[in-house]
Amino acid sequence: MAALIAGAVSAFSTPARAESDLAGRWSGNYNCGIETTMTLEVSEKDGLLDGVFSFDAQGQSGSYRMAGRLQPDRRFTFVPREWIKRPDGFTALGITGILNENNRLIEGRLSPCMPGDFKAARAMPEAERSAAMAPPQPLQTGALSGIWAGGIGCRMNRRGNTETYPLELQVIADGDGVGAFGHIRIYKKRNSGAGPAFDQFMLLSGRQDGTSLTLENPLMVDRGGAQAQLKGLAGNIGTDSIEGQVSMSGCETVSLKRKGALQQVAVPATLAGTWMGTAGRQNETSVILHAMPDADPPFFELQATYPANLPDAERDRLRLALVPVVEQDGRLLLMPVSRREATGVFGTGSGPVRHALGQWRGVLVSAGSNESVELRGLARESDVAAAAGSPQALQNTIRLTRPTKQQQEAVASGEAPPIDFGGSIAGALAAAPSREAQCRVLETWLKPFEGGLNIDRMSLDAVLAGLIGAFADEAFEPVFGLPFLLTIQEERGAVARLIRDTCRSAMRMRMVGVVGDFVLSTEHQFTGMTTLMADRTETGGWMARLQEELRDLPQDQSGLDRINGMRADMAKRRRDLTDTQAKEVEAAIARRENDVKLAMLLAEVAALPETGFEQGNLNRVFALLKRAQASGLDNQSLGKLREGAEAKARSLLDGPLREAAGLAATLPMSLEGMRLGNEAMGRFRPYRRGMEEWFGTIDGAGVLHPLYSRLEEIRNDAGVKSAFREKLLEVATGPDAEAIVRNTAAAYVEPEETHRYPEYAALIDEVALVAEVRAISIVDDSGSPQPGEPTAEEIARFALQRVRDYNAQQAAKDDACLSGQVSDPVQAMLCLTSPALYTGQKGFGARLIAVRKIGCVPEVSDIQYRCTFTQEIQINMPGGEAYGGNTLSQMARQMSSGEAVDARFSRAAGGGWNIVWGDLQ
């Protein structure tokens, strides 16, 4: 008989599963080395599935069509068909997975990729969301519900004597689910049929299938002292009878007759409505209890989801219909009647992990303190003993409170009930309508303090230091209902568990996770944060003292020295300062430092003399301004300093400018007048660039205008120009004639001003060339030259021009190679041949010392000649003594003077010669 019962359907009715359906839009993530978002849009036709798979992998998005099938065991397969949008380097993937019992979650693998796991959900249907807000449906009691009375037939001995134990069942059905509250009398004296008896009370659960009834899985409410017990029954339901067999030691049959209607147990009005809370050591199970006292019969519906920290679509669900059968001392004994929904760990399978609520065979409910109810789950006979006051510890107790409207709406939308932290935790955190909303409160609390913090790039200490402001009373108390310093570890630990299980793990709130893991989890962490807060408070006092000291700083070097000390103090305290405070302190120090420097520099400006131009006092003005610019003064302060410095500079220049301007009326129209005027202007040239850099011009008032005008008249005079040329020719002799010519010219026209006087520039270049030619030793050894052939001097001029061209190219090469801006590889290789790269000095070049004409041979008489000559060349290598520069110069002179060279001279149409250089032999 026991085997018969065990082979029957499970104790609780199995809820009807919703028809499997994959159609719709699924959103989630998959992992092919990186976490990637995905959507799968599925439509169904004739049992076949069409899908569009879309993804976004780090900014690379794509999609393709798929085809698939859903199997009866809820497993499905999709294969790729064609790309809609294919980014470079991506391959279409196949899908194998399973549809969760709640029809809202799919998970499985994508291939080929590693590791390939994916999970996706679709939103809660609106109908399901609306149903979650509505009261539960009344029980579908049917004809079976009522009181049935009769007996159990038992064998008393081997001779076949039987005895009947009276049995009464109060049966309540809900659909195909059945619960029964049983009372059986077991006579103490065997085969007596009457007299003293053991009265046993039990709860049984099971199901009806048409006319078949199965009850089993008893919970012994009161054993009555007897060892034997009814373990279950299976029978056929008639119009007014139940006939069948039982599972009970020594007993076989059961026969019951309908006795009457249900004896309903009233539910106190104080229990009516909805109650909500959490269960488990980590609050991992969400629990809702609906009490329906006005229903017929009165009943309760217990709803649970697990684990509460996962998204709604990933949770397992339980909906259990319960009916009160006994009331005693303010407590109701509730009998399970049916499982209206049971998925995952709440199911009836034999998996390794079963949830405790799914194993409850009875429930005690009673009103608690502070508008609450207490549920005590009864899974075994020992739980009943504990509830009756046994010394044995009471297990499976859940405290529920009446939810607000906002809490009900949040839970109906798929969020988990809020954590009841107990203790003194209040504020916005306790008032949040759901666990997810509590996480959002914590995220909002920290947001103002997260600026500039980067968990991935900063140390943990730096991140915690940046969050200190969140634990100040003004920020912490509105969220938690009390100051941080007054919290106890039990309260902080409860918040830390919420953060760990929901905020960090499920909602990916990383900064909130830092606070939970490293501030709230242990007493040691709490002490560390309070120490940081104390240091921060002390630092606030230091900041106030610093501001006072800055105001009183002396405006001299000792003040600047103290400012450096303040910066050192700040560096030591940087960990105790927020970024805002650090910026505030740095700005205050910088402002005061600027003020002190400006005051010191203004004092120096005031001390500058207003006379002494000839002693170079103007350079002192420029030097002071350069120091000011390098000191880091702001632009406004530099402008103020420049105003004072300009006044000093103008005072220094005023007398000399007027003196020079007065000379204009006395300058003669002669070369000497030109020299005197240039000399007068030369007094100001060393200061012109500095004046223009700092004050715009050297002569803002135009005092020198008369002198400029007179000099212009003198320089434009033809007689002065002629005298200038003759003066230069006069000095154009000797080995250094070119340098002498240019130095002499500078007494009349400054080299940097020759661009304004092109005629004078041309004269200087002409005479410099003459000077260079004069400096060359020219010898004609040709014997008897023919009329019209190139002279020795013309050949020397040609050789000199070649040397000058070479020197110009070498100078340009030196400038480029020493500029540090050569990027062309070929040019870089050429720079390796530049002596300036090794000596660090420019000026490497050649100098023509002597030319000796050997002779000219006419190729076309009076038109074209081939001339042979020798040339002596000296190499100049500034700074090259250590590199053999002197030896190189001597070798060049000896080798060049001993070798004859030739060139072809052809008369040019405009006069002179066209010359081709080279070996013409």
Give, as one character, the DSSP assignment of residue 791.
P
Helix, strand, or coil (residue 858)? strand
Angle between helix 489-498 and helix 523-551 axes, rounded to 10 deg: 100
Sheet of strand 913-917: strand arrangement: 777-780, 845-860, 864-876, 900-907, 913-917
At residue 6, the pLDDT reads 32
Q: What is the largest CA-CA distance in the chain?
A: 174
Mean of pLDDT over the chain:
87
Q: Check pLDDT > 60 for residue 19.
A: no
Burial (CB count <10 Å: 0-12, 13-18, 19+), residue 587: exposed
Mean pLDDT over residues 63-69, rounded?
92
d(CA 883, CA 415) in angstroms, rounded, equals 86
Tell me the average pLDDT across 474-494. 93
DSSP 665-690: GG--SSHHHHHHHHHHHHTTHHHHHH
790: Cβ contacts below 8 Å, ≥ 6 apart:
856, 865, 867, 905, 913
CA atoms of 896 and 901, how far apart (whole Å)? 9
| Alpha helices by DSSP H, 138-235 | none
* In the chain, % of residues over pLDDT 70: 92
Q: Is 763 exposed, middle or buried (0-12, 13-18, 19+ CB in 10 A)?
A: buried
> Long-range contacts of range 411-414, CB-CB < 8 Å, 24 or more positions apart?
411/132, 411/276, 411/286, 411/288, 412/129, 412/132, 412/133, 413/124, 413/129, 414/124, 414/129, 414/311, 414/312, 414/313
Instruction: Tell me which amino acid residue 486 is.
Output: L
Beta strands in 738-891, from DSSP E residues, in sequence order: 777-780, 845-860, 864-876
Which of 166-175, 193-202, 386-395, 745-754: highest mean pLDDT? 166-175
Q: Is the pLDDT of residue 412 over 70?
A: yes
Residue 64 predicted with pLDDT over 90? yes
- pLDDT value at 647 more than 70: yes
45 or 671, higher pLDDT: 671
Q: 487-508, pLDDT tens digit by residue?
A: 999 999 999 999 998 998 888 8
Is the pLDDT at 383 greater than 90? The verdict is no
Predicted local confidence at residue 882, as pLDDT? 64
Q: Which of 431, 411, 378, 121 is nearest to 278 (CA)?
A: 411
Per DSSP, the three-state class of 191 is coil
Q: How confident is the model at residue 884 (pLDDT cuts 50, 70, 90)?
A: low
Task: Check pLDDT > 60 for residue 246.
Answer: yes
- Helix 718-731 and helix 758-775: axis angle, to 10°? 20
H-helix or E-strand spanning residue 647: helix 635-662
What gap in Å lies between CA 838 and CA 835, rounded to an integer?
5
Using an 8 Å Cβ cutoff, are 580 and 546 in contact? Answer: no
Residue with tokens 């488990």: 280
What average pLDDT does this structure show over 168-196? 89
Query: Residue 287 forms beta bridges with which residues?
Result: 277, 304
Determine the pLDDT at residue 5: 29
**Separation in Å, CA 88 to CA 35, 113, 444, 650:** 19, 17, 40, 71
**Long-range CB contact pairs, 828-833, < 8 A, 24+:** none
Number of Cβ within a 10 Å radius of residue 124:
16
Lowest mean pLDDT among 136-150, 697-711, 878-892, 899-913: 878-892
> Is 638 within 8 Å of 624 (Cβ atoms)?
no
* Listed residue (361, 373, 351) closest to 287, CA to CA: 373
Give the CB-side neighbour count of residue 716, counting CA atoms within 13 A. 7
- Give the residue with greater pLDDT, 123 vs 480: 480
| Lowest pLDDT segment from 299-313, 473-487, 703-717 | 299-313
Work out the burial of residue 170: count CB atoms within 10 Å of its CB; fewer than 13 is exposed, 13-18 middle, 19 or more buried. buried
CA distance 799 to 654: 53
Answer positive or negative: Cα dihedral of 592, 593, 596, 597. Answer: negative
Distance CA 425, CA 490 (A): 10
787 confidence band (pLDDT: 50, 70, 90): confident
pLDDT of residue 45: 82
| Gap between the terminal Cα atoms of the chain | 135
Between CA 197 and CA 165 the distance in angstroms is 10
Cα distances from 153 to residues 8, 164, 197, 237, 243, in angstroms, run 21, 5, 16, 18, 11
| pLDDT category of residue 281 using cuts at 50, 70 and 90 | confident
Q: pLDDT confidence of 219, banded at 50, 70, 90?
A: very high
More confident residue, 690 or 893: 690
**Alpha-carbon distance 550 to 561, whole Å?**
12
> Which DSSP symbol is given to 385?
H
pLDDT at residue 9, rounded to an integer: 34
- How big, in percent rounded to 5, are the helix, strand and coil portions of the chain? 40, 30, 30
What is the mean predicted confidence (pLDDT) over 626-649?
93
The pLDDT value recorded for residue 587 is 93
Q: Using an 8 Å Cβ cutoff, are 95 and 30 in contact?
A: no
Assess contact for 450 and 463: CB atoms under 8 A: no
> For the residues 39-51, what does the mean pLDDT come to?
88
Mean pLDDT, to the nearest integer, of 658-671?
92
Q: Would you say the C-alpha torsion 140, 142, 147, 148 has a positive or negative sign?
A: negative
Q: Three-state SS across 107-145? A: EEEEECCCCCEEEEECCCCHHHHHHHHCCCCCCCCCCCC
Question: Could you tell me if 782 and 856 are in contact, meaning their C-beta atoms sit under 8 angstroms apart?
Answer: yes
For residues 637 and 678, is the Cβ–Cβ distance under 8 A?
Answer: no
- Residue 737 pLDDT > 50, yes or no? yes
Question: Which of 59-73, 198-212, 825-839, 901-915 has the least mean pLDDT?
Answer: 825-839
Mean pLDDT, rounded, for 199-206: 93
Look at residue 2 in the predicted model and tell me its pLDDT: 33
φ, ψ for residue 863, nearest 5 deg: -125, -45
- Who has greater pLDDT, 573 or 362? 362
Count helices and strands (H / E) in the chain.
Answer: 25, 29
Percentage of the chain lying above the pLDDT 90 cut: 49
